[in-house]
Structure 1
Amino acid sequence: MPVQPNLLERLALFRFDRAPSAIVDLLDAGSFHALALAHDLSVFAALDEPRSVGALATEIDADPTALGDLLRVLAANGYVERDGDAVVRTAATERWLTEDGEANLAPWFTFWRDVVFPFWNEHLETTIREGRPPLTLYEWLTANPTLWPTAQRGFRAAATLIVDPVVDEIALPGGARTLLDLGGGHGLYAAELCERNPGLSAVVFDHPDALEVAETEIRDRGLADRIETRGGDYRTDDVGDGYDAVLLFNVLHGHDEAEVRALFERVHEALAPGGRVVVLDQFQGGGRMNLGRAAVALVSLTYRATLGRGVHDADAVTDWLRAAGFADVERTGLRRDPGSELLQATRR
């Protein structure tokens, strides 16, 4: 969590410019790295009950003095707090950064630290000067395959925040039995849909190195007899046909208009008549409040730096769906994911 300046500090920093407000960015950057390291060390998991610094250090095999320094940073930013001589995780940490909570977003921060920002360090300046990176993040991951699981665990962590409202909104055709999750990576959405629809089976199709997390998800949920993974290039390889529904989640922003149009045509061919395509992505103009606008701006820059592409206009995407042979396009905004929309359409 970002440091929270008190009233006097807010006035000095933001209202009267008596001190450089950019210092908050530095403090937040330090907090970000402290959070990611705490996740690596299982600090939050070990604080499932109050522990002294010494007991916690023994539990996670750390030096107690250095761990105390880390805990003070975490406490200053609201991740842990003192309870007498013990340290406890805060309610917000328990809710958003542990397996016991509503969503564990910690792997998402690890993904940014270990994948996105190292890629930025290599290629962001080139992107700004030349308009695109010399290679995409996915090509970079293929050259660094040990980072694929980190990326997919990060994507899955972000998805846990919205999976319930997204799946609640998905309108599968009546009696739907087959689903294709195209570029499905971590497999969370396909697994959740199959659990909610006992007659449904699914294929999760993505880069071969991206499927390890999906395979773990499927195995842990006991869905191996209903969900299979297939590795390949969804732009050129055979993805099958006759599906009742196809998911295209966080895929479009990696492609330009011509590629998106071609992808919609492939999806149209893969669907049975009356089948549904469901698109989830970020779109231009999203984010109506400050935090939402900042998030969409950061995501858009990240896509430009990592994929050489940007977010599309939702109205244009709707037109491209209709041109590919889809009708009855429905759009739903997601309050938990500013700037994102869910688009659903039926194959004519």
Structure 2
Amino acid sequence: MTTQPPTPETIERLGAAVFRSFAMRAGMELDLFTPLTEGPMNVVELAQALNVGSTKLEPLLYSLVDAGLLTVEGERFSNTPESDHFLVRGKPTYMGERHHQFSHQWNATLKTSESIRPGAAQSKVDYHDRTPEQEESIYRGLHPGTIAAGRMLTTMYDFSAYRTLLDLGGGSGGLAIGVAEECPHLHATVGELPEVLAVTQRFIAEAETKDRTSIMAADALSGSINGSFDAVVMCNFIQVLSQDQARISLKNVIKAVEPGGDLYIVGRVLDDSHLSPTNALNANLFFLNVFDGGQAFTEHQHRDWLAEAGFGTIKRDILPDGRSVIAARKPS
């Protein structure tokens, strides 16, 4: 029996997989989902609303139908429920500005082989080079997701006994806002580096919970964290640090947790096999290009660092989007 030679099926599938993502990014950048919230449009009508030519727009619209972000009936295009909820400018759930983040991630990840050869990240982020406007635009895209993360935490864990919470490295403060919305008995504080606080304050000022949400300068690596809190959340934090920095930060953070209080680490965590969840694997390709030491570390590594810092009762939960929450308690 003659064995048939393999076909390049996997190679071709992976090579084509990027185009739906590129179509989504182009649609977000053009803001084409916003006019469609008023109702179906044909190519000419939508081109006029966007002030672009219809000839080049048409292929993109059909690609977005294939990607699951538009529908088409006859020659009239409409948003899907998902795109109408998240990609229409002006809605509180708007995520369209995330095209900046996607572009950064993809451009950085294209340098993976260049980073591996010298063993040094080739797309390091210099946050000091960003203008305040650029910084705010990036946080605008992330803000709805961080609010949702805060709300999600309150459904997964019992926050009824907490009176104070620190959102450490909280950026826009979305997580703190989301928690405060769901827990009217609680005061939330966003701890950030001094150069970020002006942007954070603008988001806090827009929130209905602004009377119960405050900001303060904080640096987990230097140990500059004022006060102590019933709960501390570190969202997308450990993954940007080296192993030594992660150890140091957790040893500093435990000092800011009240005895009997809890720490929640939210972010990309690998199973000990290093093979799952898939999105943590994918994130590591990006991380190796932008951080010299940061990566999605394993659950075992997190457990070791937390125990070394003095935390106990360590538990990991995996979220539907593949991120993990590692909860740890400071002994009373």
* TM-score, length-scaled by structure 1: 0.80
2:234 matched residue in structure 1: 248
> In structure 2, what is the equivalent of residue 323 of structure 1?
308
Q: Relative to 1, partners in 2 of residues 1:160 and 1:53: Cα closer, same or farther, differing over 3 Å? A: farther
Q: Give the aligned partner of residue 283 of structure 1.
A: 269
Q: Specify the SS of the correspondent of 2:316.
A: strand
CA distance in 2, matches of 1:198, 1:143: 38
2:59 is matched with which residue?
69
User: Residues 323 and 287 of structure 1: is their aligned pair in 2 closer, same or farther, counting only changes over 3 Å?
Assistant: closer
Q: CA separation in 2, counterparts of 1:230 and 1:16?
A: 63
Which residue in 2 is equivalent to 1:83? Answer: 73
Change (3 A) 1:135 1:162: same
Q: Which moved more, 1:95-104 or 1:36-45?
A: 95-104
Aligned mates of 2:199, 2:6 — CA distance in 1: 47
Rounded to whole Å, the distance in 1 between the matches of 2:91 and 2:17 is: 23
What are the superposed Cα offsets for residues 114-137 of structure 1, whole Å, 9 maximum, x if unpaired? Answer: x2233345x533421132316742
Q: Which moved more, 1:297-306 or 1:82-91?
A: 82-91
- 1:234 counterpart SS class: coil
Q: Which residue of 2 aligns with 1:200?
A: 186
- Over 3 Å counting, the alpha-carbon distance change for 1:134 and 1:51 in structure 2 is closer
Question: 2:326 & 2:247 partners in 1: Cα distance?
Answer: 17
Shift of 1:62: 1.9
Query: Does the 8 Å contact 1:241/1:270 carry over to 2?
Result: yes
Q: What is the alpha-carbon distance in structure 2 between the residues aligned to residue 282 and residue 306 of structure 1?
A: 15
Return the offset for 1:223: 2.4
Q: Does structure 1 residue 41 correspond to structure 2 residue 30? A: yes
The code of the aligned residue for 2:35 comes to A
Residues 329, 346 of structure 1: 8 Å contact kept: no
Change in Cα spacing, 1:173 to 1:130, as seen in structure 2 (3 Å) is farther
Q: How far does residue 206 in structure 1 lie from its aligned partner after superposition?
A: 2.1
Per-residue deviation, residues 28-65 of structure 1 (Å, max 9, x unmatched): 32322221121122211211111222222222222222
Cross-structure match for 2:119:
131
Quote the residue 2:158 is aligned against.
171
Distance in 2, Cα, partners of 1:18 & 1:314: 37
TM-score (structure 2 length as normaliser): 0.83
Distance 2:290 2:61 in 1: 33
Call closer, same or farther: CA 1:53–1:266 in 2, change over 3 Å. Answer: same
Among the aligned pairs, what percent are the same residue? 20
Give the aligned CA root-mean-square deviation in angstroms.
3.2
Q: Which residue of 2 aligns with 1:9?
A: none
Distance 1:93 1:18, change over 3 A: farther
Alpha carbons of structure 1 residues 275 and 163: separation in structure 2 relative to 1, 3 Å? closer
1:303 aligns with one of 262, 267, 287:
287
1:306 shift after superposition: 1.3
Q: CA distance change for structure 1 residues 224 and 102 in 2, over 3 Å: closer, same or farther? A: closer
Contact 2:266 2:326 in 1 (8 A): yes
Indicate the SS of the match to 2:19: helix
- Secondary structure of 2:117's counterpart equals helix
Q: Is the 8 A contact 1:108 1:157 kept in 2?
A: no
Structure 2 unaligned blocks of 5 or more: none
Matched with 1:313 is 298
Cα distance in 2 for residues equivalent to 1:230 and 1:186? 13
Cα distance, 1:132–1:158 mapped onto 2, change above 3 Å: farther
Q: Partners of 2:197 and 2:74 in 1: how far apart?
A: 45
Give the corresponding residue for 1:3.
none
Q: Distance in 2 between matches of 1:131 and 1:158?
A: 32
Q: Shift in Å at residue 173 of structure 1? A: 6.6
Q: d(CA) in 1 for partners of 2:226 and 2:107?
A: 36
The offset of 1:237, in angstroms, is 6.0
Q: 1:168 is matched by which residue type in structure 2?
A: T
Contact (CA 8 Å) 2:250, 2:309: kept in 1 or not?
yes
Structure 1 residue corresponding to 2:260, chosen from 274, 278, 297 = 274
Change in 2 beyond 3 A, CA 1:103/1:250: same
User: What residue ranges of structure 1 are gaps of 5+ in the alignment?
Assistant: 1-14
Residue aligning to 1:181: 167
Q: Deviations over 1:262-296 (max 9, x none)?
A: 212211211222222111122222799x9x64322
Bigger mean CA deviation after superposition, 254-263 or 227-236: 227-236
